Amino acid sequence: MTTQKKISAIALAIIGIVAAVCMLFGIYGVWWTAGTVNTAALNLLSSVENNARQSSELLTLVDTAVGSVQTNVSDIETRVATVGVNLSENPVILNALRQQYDERASPELRTLLQSARAARVALARTASLAAAANANPFTATFAPDMARAQALDAALDEAEQELLRVGLEIRDLKVDATQAVTGGITARLQRIDGALQVARDATNDLNQRANTTMTNAIARQASFPSTVNMIAFGITVVMAAALIGGVALAWSSISYLQSGGRRIETFLGRFNANVG
């Protein structure tokens, strides 16, 4: 065996061994990466799911609170309309009107605003997490429409301001109030009712989107690991083939060196080498 052939065989053996070792580490790295990616994605999707569920629950409370305020506004409007120009003859109704505002309408509006603020925070958190998930098509979950959240804010702000003015006007009413005064209150109450309906529509839409986001997050948690594992398996097959090739190359080169250049051993058998 010439020196040149010996050097070539040694080089091939080294290349085969290095390739095999690299493929072993590569296969480990592929599955470590797959596990890390799965863990990170599942944690993100779980956070999206939990925040979307919390958003939905809070929005349900907002919807209930809106309904309560609407009921009270409607009752106040009915009483004002019933009193009309004869308010001077109905001090009892006037007192009941003020009592309903102080004990029901105003406190329930505060409850509504507190629920809406909590829902708003949860929605913003859900949207932020969903945006991170949407960066990967395999974990895309959609997100709440924050433009609708802004519409909800605007509607509740309008309802709050108008209801505060209604409260001031009710307190300023005297028993000799005119139809013009009660008519002004009625107009404000109608604007409040319109704003609350806008708020309710926005709440229902946001709730539907939050539920869709939650459902998608749950589905992605079930499907994403399978997708990553399939990709990792495909890469593993390719790297395993390269690993076998490296081992075969090293095996053959070492057998050639051990035989003094007379034969080459492979996985398929032993062959005579051309000594040349």
Higher pLDDT residue, 258 or 74? 74
pLDDT tens digits, residue range 35-54? 999 999 999 999 999 999 99
Give the pTM.
0.75
pLDDT tens digits, residue range 88-100? 556 777 777 788 8
pLDDT tens digits, residue range 180-216? 455 677 888 888 999 999 999 999 999 999 999 999 9
Q: Is the distance from CB of 210 to CB of 59 less than 8 angstroms?
A: yes
Q: Round to whole Å and give the CA distance between 272 and 255.
A: 11
Fold assignment, 3-258: f41 fragment of flagellin, N-terminal domain (1.20.1330)
List of E strands, the chain: 263-266, 269-272
Q: Round to whole Å and give the CA distance between 117 and 206.
A: 14
pLDDT at 271: 57
> Tell me, what DSSP letter sits at residue 142?
-
Q: Round to whole Å and give the CA distance between 260 and 262.
A: 6
State the average pLDDT over residues 127-153.
86
pLDDT at 263: 64
Which run of H or of E encompasses 1?
none
Share of the chain above pLDDT 70, in %: 85
Q: Round to whole Å and give the CA distance between 232 and 136.
A: 17
End-to-end CA distance of the chain: 8
pLDDT tens digits, residue range 155-189? 999 998 988 888 887 777 655 445 445 567 788 88
Residue 107 corresponds to which tokens in the numbers above?
């406190």
Q: Is the distance from CB of 31 to CB of 233 less than 8 angstroms?
A: no
pLDDT tens digits, residue range 52-80? 999 999 999 999 999 999 998 888 888 77
Query: What confidence tier does 143 reach under pLDDT thresholds 50, 70, 90?
Result: confident
Say yes or no to pLDDT of 105 above 70: yes
Q: Round to whole Å and give the CA distance between 6 and 36.
A: 45
